[in-house]
Protein backbone atom coordinates (compact mmCIF):
# COMPACT_ATOMS: atom_id res chain seq x y z
CA UNK A 1 0.00 0.00 0.00
CA UNK A 2 1.39 3.35 -1.07
CA UNK A 3 1.95 5.93 1.57
CA UNK A 4 1.19 8.85 -0.67
CA UNK A 5 -1.40 9.22 -3.16
CA UNK A 6 -1.15 11.83 -5.88
CA UNK A 7 -3.91 13.23 -7.78
CA UNK A 8 -3.35 13.35 -11.61
CA UNK A 9 -1.92 16.73 -12.65
CA UNK A 10 -3.97 17.02 -15.74
CA UNK A 11 -7.44 16.22 -16.41
CA UNK A 12 -8.27 13.04 -18.28
CA UNK A 13 -9.66 14.62 -21.40
CA UNK A 14 -7.68 17.41 -23.03
CA UNK A 15 -8.96 18.86 -26.19
CA UNK A 16 -6.08 19.44 -28.64
CA UNK A 17 -6.77 22.00 -31.24
CA UNK A 18 -5.56 20.83 -34.59
CA UNK A 19 -3.94 23.58 -36.65
CA UNK A 20 -5.99 24.85 -39.43
CA UNK A 21 -3.11 25.55 -41.83
CA UNK A 22 -3.33 25.62 -45.59
CA UNK A 23 -1.19 22.61 -46.48
CA UNK A 24 -1.54 19.08 -45.45
CA UNK A 25 1.47 16.80 -45.50
CA UNK A 26 1.35 13.04 -45.55
CA UNK A 27 2.81 11.59 -42.44
CA UNK A 28 6.56 11.36 -42.78
CA UNK A 29 6.88 8.61 -40.21
CA UNK A 30 4.66 6.20 -41.91
CA UNK A 31 6.04 3.16 -43.79
CA UNK A 32 7.00 4.16 -47.33
CA UNK A 33 4.50 1.89 -48.94
CA UNK A 34 2.73 4.97 -50.06
CA UNK A 35 5.58 5.72 -52.53
CA UNK A 36 4.48 2.92 -54.82
CA UNK A 37 3.38 5.41 -57.28
CA UNK A 38 6.96 6.60 -57.77
CA UNK A 39 8.69 3.17 -58.02
CA UNK A 40 6.51 2.09 -60.83
CA UNK A 41 7.96 4.90 -62.86
CA UNK A 42 9.49 2.94 -65.83
CA UNK A 43 12.55 5.18 -66.03
CA UNK A 44 13.54 4.42 -62.46
CA UNK A 45 12.89 0.73 -62.92
CA UNK A 46 15.15 0.72 -65.92
CA UNK A 47 17.88 2.46 -63.98
CA UNK A 48 17.56 -0.05 -61.19
CA UNK A 49 17.82 -3.04 -63.45
CA UNK A 50 20.77 -1.47 -65.18
CA UNK A 51 22.56 -1.01 -61.92
CA UNK A 52 21.90 -4.60 -60.96
CA UNK A 53 23.23 -5.70 -64.31
CA UNK A 54 26.41 -3.73 -63.87
CA UNK A 55 26.95 -5.07 -60.39
CA UNK A 56 26.46 -8.59 -61.63
CA UNK A 57 28.94 -8.09 -64.42
CA UNK A 58 31.48 -6.62 -62.04
CA UNK A 59 31.07 -9.59 -59.78
CA UNK A 60 31.58 -11.99 -62.65
CA UNK A 61 34.66 -10.08 -63.74
CA UNK A 62 36.10 -10.27 -60.27
CA UNK A 63 35.50 -14.01 -60.18
CA UNK A 64 37.25 -14.39 -63.52
CA UNK A 65 40.27 -12.40 -62.36
CA UNK A 66 40.42 -14.45 -59.18
CA UNK A 67 40.38 -17.60 -61.23
CA UNK A 68 43.13 -16.34 -63.47
CA UNK A 69 45.36 -15.35 -60.60
CA UNK A 70 45.01 -18.81 -59.16
CA UNK A 71 45.86 -20.34 -62.50
CA UNK A 72 49.00 -18.34 -63.16
CA UNK A 73 51.16 -19.16 -60.23
CA UNK A 74 54.30 -18.72 -62.22
CA UNK A 75 57.45 -17.24 -60.75
CA UNK A 76 56.76 -14.21 -62.89
CA UNK A 77 53.64 -13.47 -60.93
CA UNK A 78 54.06 -11.60 -57.70
CA UNK A 79 53.24 -14.33 -55.32
CA UNK A 80 54.60 -15.70 -52.15
CA UNK A 81 55.83 -19.07 -53.33
CA UNK A 82 56.56 -20.43 -49.89
CA UNK A 83 52.92 -20.16 -48.99
CA UNK A 84 51.86 -22.15 -52.02
CA UNK A 85 54.36 -24.87 -51.28
CA UNK A 86 53.26 -25.28 -47.72
CA UNK A 87 49.69 -25.86 -48.69
CA UNK A 88 50.88 -28.19 -51.41
CA UNK A 89 52.65 -30.41 -48.99
CA UNK A 90 49.47 -31.13 -47.09
CA UNK A 91 47.15 -31.89 -49.92
CA UNK A 92 49.43 -33.16 -52.64
CA UNK A 93 48.49 -36.43 -54.30
CA UNK A 94 50.50 -39.38 -53.15
CA UNK A 95 51.46 -41.16 -56.34
CA UNK A 96 54.93 -40.43 -57.71
CA UNK A 97 55.44 -37.66 -55.26
CA UNK A 98 58.27 -39.26 -53.35
CA UNK A 99 59.83 -39.90 -56.71
CA UNK A 100 59.70 -36.29 -57.80
CA UNK A 101 60.96 -35.30 -54.39
CA UNK A 102 64.09 -37.37 -54.66
CA UNK A 103 64.81 -36.22 -58.19
CA UNK A 104 64.61 -32.56 -57.42
CA UNK A 105 66.29 -32.69 -54.05
CA UNK A 106 66.24 -29.80 -51.69
CA UNK A 107 64.78 -27.34 -54.14
CA UNK A 108 61.75 -29.43 -54.84
CA UNK A 109 59.29 -26.79 -53.82
CA UNK A 110 60.82 -24.02 -55.82
CA UNK A 111 61.13 -26.13 -58.91
CA UNK A 112 57.52 -27.05 -59.05
CA UNK A 113 56.88 -24.23 -61.45
CA UNK A 114 58.76 -24.37 -64.70
CA UNK A 115 58.54 -21.38 -66.99
CA UNK A 116 59.89 -21.59 -70.51
CA UNK A 117 60.27 -18.73 -72.94
CA UNK A 118 60.40 -19.79 -76.55
CA UNK A 119 60.30 -18.13 -79.92
CA UNK A 120 57.20 -18.99 -81.98
CA UNK A 121 59.20 -18.74 -85.21
CA UNK A 122 61.17 -21.79 -84.12
CA UNK A 123 59.03 -23.83 -81.74
CA UNK A 124 61.16 -26.09 -79.52
CA UNK A 125 59.58 -29.39 -80.52
CA UNK A 126 61.74 -31.44 -78.18
CA UNK A 127 60.41 -29.50 -75.20
CA UNK A 128 56.84 -30.11 -76.32
CA UNK A 129 57.50 -33.83 -76.64
CA UNK A 130 59.09 -33.88 -73.21
CA UNK A 131 56.13 -31.96 -71.89
CA UNK A 132 53.75 -34.64 -73.02
CA UNK A 133 56.03 -37.35 -71.59
CA UNK A 134 56.06 -35.51 -68.28
CA UNK A 135 52.28 -35.21 -68.44
CA UNK A 136 52.02 -38.99 -68.76
CA UNK A 137 53.88 -39.38 -65.52
CA UNK A 138 52.90 -36.43 -63.38
CA UNK A 139 49.93 -34.27 -62.78
CA UNK A 140 50.91 -31.16 -64.68
CA UNK A 141 49.22 -27.80 -64.84
CA UNK A 142 50.18 -26.46 -68.25
CA UNK A 143 49.55 -23.02 -69.60
CA UNK A 144 50.51 -21.11 -72.72
CA UNK A 145 50.93 -17.37 -72.81
CA UNK A 146 52.02 -14.82 -75.35
CA UNK A 147 54.55 -12.18 -74.43
CA UNK A 148 54.03 -8.67 -75.75
CA UNK A 149 57.25 -8.92 -77.75
CA UNK A 150 55.61 -11.18 -80.33
CA UNK A 151 52.60 -10.07 -82.29
CA UNK A 152 51.14 -12.97 -84.15
CA UNK A 153 51.39 -16.44 -82.75
CA UNK A 154 49.81 -19.17 -84.87
CA UNK A 155 46.70 -20.71 -83.42
CA UNK A 156 48.20 -24.21 -83.25
CA UNK A 157 51.08 -22.95 -81.12
CA UNK A 158 48.72 -21.29 -78.70
CA UNK A 159 46.89 -24.56 -78.32
CA UNK A 160 49.98 -26.75 -78.19
CA UNK A 161 49.07 -28.07 -74.77
CA UNK A 162 45.55 -28.89 -75.81
CA UNK A 163 42.51 -27.25 -74.33
CA UNK A 164 43.04 -26.40 -70.73
CA UNK A 165 39.47 -26.22 -69.64
CA UNK A 166 39.08 -28.19 -66.46
CA UNK A 167 41.04 -26.00 -64.11
CA UNK A 168 41.51 -27.42 -60.70
CA UNK A 169 43.27 -25.47 -58.02
CA UNK A 170 47.05 -25.28 -58.34
CA UNK A 171 47.52 -27.43 -55.26
CA UNK A 172 46.15 -30.45 -57.01
CA UNK A 173 48.98 -30.49 -59.53
CA UNK A 174 52.51 -31.76 -59.01
CA UNK A 175 54.19 -29.53 -61.53
CA UNK A 176 53.44 -26.25 -63.18
CA UNK A 177 54.54 -25.90 -66.78
CA UNK A 178 54.15 -22.52 -68.41
CA UNK A 179 55.19 -21.85 -71.94
CA UNK A 180 55.52 -18.23 -72.99
CA UNK A 181 55.87 -17.39 -76.65
CA UNK A 182 58.40 -14.60 -76.63
CA UNK A 183 60.92 -12.99 -78.93
CA UNK A 184 64.03 -14.74 -77.60
CA UNK A 185 67.00 -16.03 -79.56
CA UNK A 186 67.19 -19.28 -77.61
CA UNK A 187 64.62 -21.01 -75.46
CA UNK A 188 65.01 -20.04 -71.82
CA UNK A 189 63.89 -21.78 -68.70
CA UNK A 190 63.32 -19.94 -65.46
CA UNK A 191 62.64 -21.01 -61.92
CA UNK A 192 61.30 -19.25 -58.94
CA UNK A 193 64.56 -19.69 -57.07
CA UNK A 194 66.41 -16.45 -57.14
CA UNK A 195 69.94 -17.78 -56.82
CA UNK A 196 69.71 -19.79 -59.99
CA UNK A 197 70.49 -18.31 -63.34
CA UNK A 198 68.02 -18.75 -66.19
CA UNK A 199 68.88 -21.81 -68.24
CA UNK A 200 69.37 -21.16 -71.93
CA UNK A 201 69.33 -23.53 -74.84
CA UNK A 202 66.87 -26.15 -75.97
CA UNK A 203 69.34 -28.97 -75.30
CA UNK A 204 69.95 -27.97 -71.71
CA UNK A 205 66.27 -27.54 -70.93
CA UNK A 206 65.55 -30.87 -72.58
CA UNK A 207 68.17 -32.57 -70.41
CA UNK A 208 66.58 -31.13 -67.31
CA UNK A 209 63.04 -32.08 -68.28
CA UNK A 210 64.16 -35.58 -69.15
CA UNK A 211 65.83 -35.95 -65.76
CA UNK A 212 62.43 -35.28 -64.20
CA UNK A 213 61.32 -38.61 -65.61
CA UNK A 214 63.75 -40.20 -63.20
CA UNK A 215 65.72 -42.62 -65.31
CA UNK A 216 69.16 -43.43 -63.97
CA UNK A 217 72.15 -43.97 -66.21
CA UNK A 218 75.75 -45.00 -65.77
CA UNK A 219 78.48 -42.40 -66.28
CA UNK A 220 79.16 -43.70 -69.75
CA UNK A 221 75.55 -43.82 -70.90
CA UNK A 222 74.82 -40.41 -69.44
CA UNK A 223 77.79 -38.93 -71.26
CA UNK A 224 76.81 -40.60 -74.51
CA UNK A 225 73.34 -39.11 -74.18
CA UNK A 226 74.79 -35.67 -73.47
CA UNK A 227 77.14 -35.94 -76.38
CA UNK A 228 74.28 -36.75 -78.80
CA UNK A 229 72.37 -33.75 -77.53
CA UNK A 230 75.43 -31.59 -78.13
CA UNK A 231 75.89 -33.04 -81.58
CA UNK A 232 72.29 -32.28 -82.46
CA UNK A 233 72.40 -28.73 -81.13
CA UNK A 234 75.86 -27.65 -82.22
CA UNK A 235 76.75 -29.72 -85.25
CA UNK A 236 73.49 -30.56 -86.90
CA UNK A 237 71.46 -27.47 -86.21
CA UNK A 238 74.11 -24.88 -86.90
CA UNK A 239 76.43 -26.93 -89.05
CA UNK A 240 77.05 -26.85 -92.78
CA UNK A 241 75.57 -29.49 -95.05
CA UNK A 242 78.85 -31.36 -94.85
CA UNK A 243 78.68 -31.49 -91.06
CA UNK A 244 75.03 -32.56 -91.25
CA UNK A 245 75.94 -35.43 -93.52
CA UNK A 246 78.67 -36.49 -91.09
CA UNK A 247 76.20 -36.48 -88.20
CA UNK A 248 73.67 -38.51 -90.15
CA UNK A 249 76.37 -41.01 -91.03
CA UNK A 250 77.36 -41.35 -87.38
CA UNK A 251 73.71 -41.80 -86.41
CA UNK A 252 73.29 -44.43 -89.09
CA UNK A 253 76.24 -46.42 -87.75
CA UNK A 254 74.97 -46.21 -84.18
CA UNK A 255 71.43 -47.14 -85.11
CA UNK A 256 72.70 -50.21 -86.89
CA UNK A 257 73.61 -51.69 -83.53
CA UNK A 258 70.82 -50.49 -81.29
CA UNK A 259 67.20 -49.43 -81.77
CA UNK A 260 67.76 -46.06 -80.12
CA UNK A 261 70.73 -43.73 -80.18
CA UNK A 262 71.83 -44.73 -76.71
CA UNK A 263 70.99 -48.26 -75.69
CA UNK A 264 67.63 -49.99 -75.81
CA UNK A 265 65.47 -47.23 -74.49
CA UNK A 266 64.26 -43.90 -75.71
CA UNK A 267 66.33 -41.10 -74.16
CA UNK A 268 66.53 -37.37 -74.46
CA UNK A 269 69.20 -37.97 -77.13
CA UNK A 270 66.56 -39.46 -79.43
CA UNK A 271 64.09 -36.70 -78.70
CA UNK A 272 66.48 -33.83 -79.38
CA UNK A 273 68.07 -35.51 -82.40
CA UNK A 274 64.72 -36.35 -83.94
CA UNK A 275 63.56 -32.76 -83.54
CA UNK A 276 66.65 -31.28 -85.13
CA UNK A 277 66.53 -33.76 -87.99
CA UNK A 278 62.87 -32.98 -88.45
CA UNK A 279 63.30 -29.21 -88.31
CA UNK A 280 66.68 -28.74 -89.99
CA UNK A 281 67.27 -31.87 -92.00
CA UNK A 282 66.75 -32.57 -95.62
CA UNK A 283 64.46 -35.59 -95.79
CA UNK A 284 65.99 -36.79 -99.07
CA UNK A 285 69.44 -37.31 -97.57
CA UNK A 286 68.48 -39.50 -94.62
CA UNK A 287 70.21 -42.91 -94.54
CA UNK A 288 68.14 -46.11 -94.04
CA UNK A 289 68.77 -46.83 -90.36
CA UNK A 290 68.00 -43.24 -89.49
CA UNK A 291 64.81 -43.44 -91.52
CA UNK A 292 63.74 -46.49 -89.59
CA UNK A 293 64.53 -44.74 -86.34
CA UNK A 294 62.59 -41.63 -87.42
CA UNK A 295 59.58 -43.87 -88.07
CA UNK A 296 59.81 -45.55 -84.69
CA UNK A 297 60.04 -42.15 -83.02
CA UNK A 298 56.99 -40.94 -84.88
CA UNK A 299 55.04 -43.99 -83.81
CA UNK A 300 55.18 -42.88 -80.21
CA UNK A 301 52.09 -41.01 -79.05
CA UNK A 302 53.98 -38.04 -77.65
CA UNK A 303 55.81 -37.47 -80.95
CA UNK A 304 52.61 -37.99 -82.89
CA UNK A 305 50.76 -35.40 -80.90
CA UNK A 306 53.45 -32.81 -81.46
CA UNK A 307 53.72 -33.61 -85.16
CA UNK A 308 50.00 -33.23 -85.55
CA UNK A 309 49.83 -29.67 -84.41
CA UNK A 310 53.02 -28.57 -86.13
CA UNK A 311 51.85 -29.64 -89.55
Provide the binding-site residues for other proteins, judged by CB under 8 A: 103-107, 111, 191, 193, 195-197, 199-201, 203-204, 207-208, 211, 219-220, 222-224, 226-227, 230-231, 233-234
Minimum Å gap between C-beta 227 and other proteins is 4
Minimum Å gap between C-beta 271 and other proteins is 15
Minimum Å gap between C-beta 267 and other proteins is 15
Rg (the chain; Cα; Å):
35
Minimum Å gap between C-beta 127 and other proteins is 14
User: Measured from the CB atom, is 161 or 191 closer to other proteins?
Assistant: 191
The stretches of the chain forming alpha helices (DSSP H) are 36-39, 42-71, 81-91, 97-104, 125-137, 155-158, 202-212, 219-230, 241-257, 268-280, 288-298, 301-310
Report d(CA 168, CA 188) in Å as an integer. 27
User: Measured from the CB atom, is 146 or 215 closer to other proteins?
Assistant: 215
Residue 38: CB atoms within 10 A of its CB come to: 9
User: Measured from the CB atom, is 188 or 303 closer to other proteins?
Assistant: 188
Report d(CA 98, CA 82) in Å as an integer. 19
21 contact partners, CB below 8 Å, separation of at least 6: none
Parallel, antiparallel, or unpaired for β 175-181 and 113-118?
Answer: parallel
Minimum Å gap between C-beta 244 and other proteins is 17
User: Measured from the CB atom, is 10 or 219 closer to other proteins?
Assistant: 219
User: Measured from the CB atom, is 158 or 250 closer to other proteins?
Assistant: 250
Amino acid sequence: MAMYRLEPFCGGEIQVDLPTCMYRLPSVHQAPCDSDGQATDPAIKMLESRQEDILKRLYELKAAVDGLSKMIQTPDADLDVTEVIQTDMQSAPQCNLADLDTILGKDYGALRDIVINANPSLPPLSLLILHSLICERYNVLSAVHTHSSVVKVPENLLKCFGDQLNKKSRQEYQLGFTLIWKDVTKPQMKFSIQNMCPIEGEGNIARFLFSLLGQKFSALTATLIDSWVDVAIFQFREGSSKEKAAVLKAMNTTLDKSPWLVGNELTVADIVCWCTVHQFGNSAAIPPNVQKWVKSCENLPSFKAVLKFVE
